[in-house]
Structure 1
Amino acid sequence: MTTRYEIQISDLLGRYLVAAKDLKAGENILTDEPFVLGPTSDSALVCFNCYLPLISKFLVCKNCAVAPICPGEGCPESFPKRWHSKSECEFFRNLKLTKSLNPMTMVQNVGSLLVLRAILKKDTDPQAWAEFMKLETHLDERRNSSIWEYNDNTVKFITTLGLLDNVLDESLVQKVCAAIDVNSFEVRGPPIPVLGYSQPLRGIYLKASLLAHDCVGNTHVSINDNNVLVCHASMDLKKGETIYYNYTDPLKGTSLRQHHLRIGKYFKCNCERCKDSTELGTYLSSAICPECKTGYVSQSSDQQWDCHECKKKFEHSKIWHTVQCCSDKFDVINKKDEKELEEYIRNVSKILAPNHYLLLEATQRLAGVLRDAINREPHPTKKLMRRKLQLCKELLPVLEKLCPGISSTKAITLYEIHVSLVQLAKKLFDSREITGNGYMDELMNAEKYLKRALEMLFIEPGNSPEGELCAKALEEYRALKATMNNVLDGIHAEGKTYVPPCETARPITEN
């Protein structure tokens, strides 16, 4: 296969990836197996073999008599990967004999398992270990900090195992901890059957770790249930163009994204979005101007916010206090209660810009609550359907700007819009509020949204939640086409001819 990326080096980005050829949106850039995968530093106990949570009881590996593993019949056969390797088992077995290592020591240090497994790679996979040690650590910034002190427990644990007896680098464990913290990807742990409960994991992917950051990325990254990471181009890329991945949540404001990057990645982002106080015209962090009441005020410096309409300037503390009050209120409301969410949106919309990240999160939550209510009710009302449709449509333009090209969040939103259009159109047709022609208009409109969603979902791993949604969407697409054919047959049976609306026509359900 032709190489789709090249590694380059710069003072600003360190080692990073660029497109080695022109790439089309949806094209696979790289596929990466984890160098190491394991529980987070504050994880509850998991099976050392398959990473299933061990809630009440566990067994120990019969070979080493140390590693905690699944009780009963052992790890599910559906999990092909076994993380408690033969070499690790032998390592534990020797420690059991020489240093009386016992299972409870491992239970108490499950949060250090990922670091331990990374260090064991030094002998079992020296080539990959060498690549791992090239990863950025920001060790100097971490030295003598609270995170450095927090990792002292891991240092002491690794030391007791004798892994540092012949190591000259006294900071090796801290360096490994840092490389994991700075470069790891969050991975879904396997869920307990029926309960669905799982522990989040962290994985180091040596190729994907070289993806540079931008708050408007040009890639789409997914990790399947086999823990394989796949990176696709989310938009067309030209040869030589830097390949970017957004390390942050695109629907968070600049201050929150910068805080996340500063605390977790140790750098300040200077991308175009971060330098633009309007966040590419979305006003995602802006408030309504207290002076003119029509413009939006955005933070222009650490001390000042400016109105884009009346040009009035405000002290940072005044506007920030207002935004913080809205944030505090959102923290305490019941996010599963339709009325509380509606009241929050209604009140906060008088203070914050329409696309403020707090309002967007409330919008997403409310849309989810309404979706569940519609699916649960035997006869959901048109009001519920219209409200959910409105919320999804409010979210879509923001996603188009901040997540251009392929985006799983955008695909899900497009899918939900299609669902609402189909449900509402059927209800209107059944109650004879629209004719067969009007029903057909609505179904064609829904089809456009569903097709766009499917175009994005096709690249998702089949065993991921998004991949499962893709399979469901395909079934619904077939059902939609069948419904459209039935409606057409009905129109023709009445001796009429269906004429598709022009692109500028507004479907009834969008009024």
Structure 2
Amino acid sequence: MSTKYEVKTSNKLGRYLVAAKDLRAGERILSDQPFVLGPNSDTSLVCFNCYLPLISKFVVCKNCGIAPICPGDGCPEQFAKWHSRQECDFFRNLKLNKGTSPMTMVQNVGSLLVLRALLKQNDSPQEWKVFSELESHLDRRRDSSVWEYYDNTVKFIQSLGLLENGQNQELVQQICAAIDVNSFEVRGPPIPAIGCAEVLRGVYLQATLLAHDCVANTHMSINDNNVLVCHASTDIKKGEPIYYNYTDALKGTAIRQQHLMIGKYFKCTCSRCSDVTEMGTYMSSAVCPACKTGYMSQHGELWVCHSCKNETEHSVVGHKVQCCSDKLEVINKKDEKELEEYIRYVSLVLAPNHYLLLDAKQRLAGVLRDIINREPRPTKKVMRRKMELCKELLPVLETLSPGICRIKAITLYELHATIVQLAKKLFDAREITGADFADELLCAEKHLKHALEMLVIEPGNSPEGELCAKALEEYRALKLTIAKVMDSVHAEGKVYKIEDVTEEEALHPEID
């Protein structure tokens, strides 16, 4: 058993993990190899060996003559290889004894993950036993549209002769259910120079025991070797449950609940879901039409204002919220003017931190970032607007995703970058003094250092890990710039205290 956690059982959570000792924010709790990993059921064709998308052509494995794999020079060396010797021998026997063709595999690539899980029954019997005991909610899926959806997978597995010796189609449905309920999304390998990749699914037998809470205390990452690493995102006391958020923290309660009910078959009753204000963020609330200043939250068939207590029928407020949602679906989300117009329009209806508004603001911040990076002389207005958007998002993230948070780190990095760019522009134009310039750079340094403290635990070969490396170089450069500016402003009589921050300190030595 790990010294970091232990497994408990309860009627509410089933099997779940608790801290076996006090855990610090940033401390690694567990790392987990996938029991099985593969493409989604609705995937495009991917290489059976490395999961690269096969866009135009493929070849088949020379040994088994069935598995579609990368053409040309074959699979890139840096990618993990999944077409095992045992599987290759199995496919070879299929071709020899049943005449199975490569096109059979091509047409059933969406069933590959289920097939590989079933083959584990003989290849890894101990792991298979743990997998077979995972929650599947099979009875709730029986005779449903999901059950029918996987009928083709059942027929495919049957055609391979894997359901003999008294086994039946229910075993395949149980595997499908266990994967649906317990898998994690994994970023597949991108095509070099193009970047497109398939989203894979992986079952991790340790990590799947993490209980859900919409305000989690863990941070999850999966590296290019498909190893899942779980860190504490906040301090966790000995004996406290270890939680992971299986939903999107920046979605409203109704959407999160729907996601959990459809995918995990349970209704969340965490502190956030039980609070109509969503911990004071009013993320699903609307502006009260009566007092114009208060926010209304839904209570059954009524929406009630927290300020003036006005009550409005759900058919009225719900319709307005739905119109805002429908509008976001159809606008051009890469157009600055359309996004700004949408934000102005829905701000008359929705609370400032409503998830639809936050979605639009995130997208607008990305558009403005691209404008700033693309234009040789971006305007001060664009820079200030981007900074404003970042500052509006950060308090919400701090409340709903306390501690280490990937989106928060990226937002802080973006905020720091724009502060530096704007401050330099103003200083070069003699619109601010050297002392003001130094103040802005120190503010940017604070945000960048905070971002680095979170990004440092990301896998080095992930986009966030690459951002960490870039941010560290910018941190070094920013420290030098600050030192030079300080030298020039000392004559003005303003005294600054600059801490000597080493590279190790910048990367937060407390993080394991």
TM-score range relative to shorter protein:
over 0.9
Distance 1:156 1:14 in 2: 32
Alignment of 1:57-456 (within 5 A): 57-79=57-79, 81-301=80-300, 303-456=301-454
Amino acid at match of 1:77: E
| Equivalent residue number for residue 12 of structure 1 | 12
| Equivalent residue number for residue 464 of structure 1 | 462
Distance 1:127 1:113 in 2: 21
Of 354-363 and 161-170, deviating more is: 161-170
Is 1:499 aligned with 2:495?
yes
| Equivalent residue number for residue 506 of structure 1 | none
CA contact (8 A) 1:441 1:501 kept: no
Distance 2:201 2:2 in 1: 30
Instruction: Report deviation, 1:317.
Output: 1.5
Instruction: Report deviation, 1:59.
Output: 0.2
CA contact (8 A) 1:488 1:498 kept: no
Amino acid at match of 2:143: N
Distance 1:430 1:485 in 2: 17
Instruction: Report deviation, 1:500.
Output: 3.7
- Deviations along 1:180-202, one digit per CA (max 9) or x if unpaired, are 00000000010100111111100
Structure 2 residue runs without a partner (length 5+): 499-512
Report runs of 4+ in structure 1 exceeding 6 Å deviation: none
- Deviations along 1:252-280, one digit per CA (max 9) or x if unpaired, are 00000001011111110000100100000
Paired residue total: 498
Instruction: Report deviation, 1:170.
Output: 4.0
Instruction: Report deviation, 1:168.
Output: 3.2
Instruction: Report deviation, 1:166.
Output: 1.6
Instruction: Report deviation, 1:167.
Output: 4.0
Distance 1:343 1:496 in 2: 45
Instruction: Report deviation, 1:497.
Output: 3.6
CA contact (8 A) 2:486 2:496 kept: no
Normalising by structure 1, we get a TM-score of: 0.96
Instruction: Report deviation, 1:246.
Output: 0.3
- Deviations along 1:389-408, one digit per CA (max 9) or x if unpaired, are 00000000000000001000
Distance 2:295 2:496 in 1: 41
Instruction: Report deviation, 1:2.
Output: 5.9
Q: 1:382 to 1:340 in 2, by over 3 A?
A: same
Is 1:39 aligned with 2:36?
no
Distance 2:261 2:73 in 1: 45
Distance 2:315 2:120 in 1: 50
Amino acid at match of 1:130: K
Instruction: Report deviation, 1:6.
Output: 0.4
Q: Aligned to 2:410, what secondary structure does the other structure show? A: helix
Structure 1 residue runs without a partner (length 5+): 503-511
Q: Aligned to 2:442, what secondary structure does the other structure show? A: helix
Kindly report the root-mean-square deviation, in angstroms, between the aligned alpha carbons of the 2 structures.
Answer: 1.2
CA contact (8 A) 1:54 1:70 kept: yes
CA contact (8 A) 1:441 1:500 kept: no
Q: 1:228 to 1:482 in 2, by over 3 A?
A: same
CA contact (8 A) 1:251 1:357 kept: yes
Distance 2:311 2:434 in 1: 56
Instruction: Report deviation, 1:315.
Output: 1.5
CA contact (8 A) 2:32 2:228 kept: yes
Distance 1:170 1:436 in 2: 74
Identical columns (%): 72
Distance 1:173 1:126 in 2: 17
CA contact (8 A) 1:36 1:117 kept: yes
Normalising by structure 2, we get a TM-score of: 0.96
- Which of 484, 487, 496 is 1:486 aligned to? 484
Q: Aligned to 1:203, what secondary structure does the other structure show? A: strand
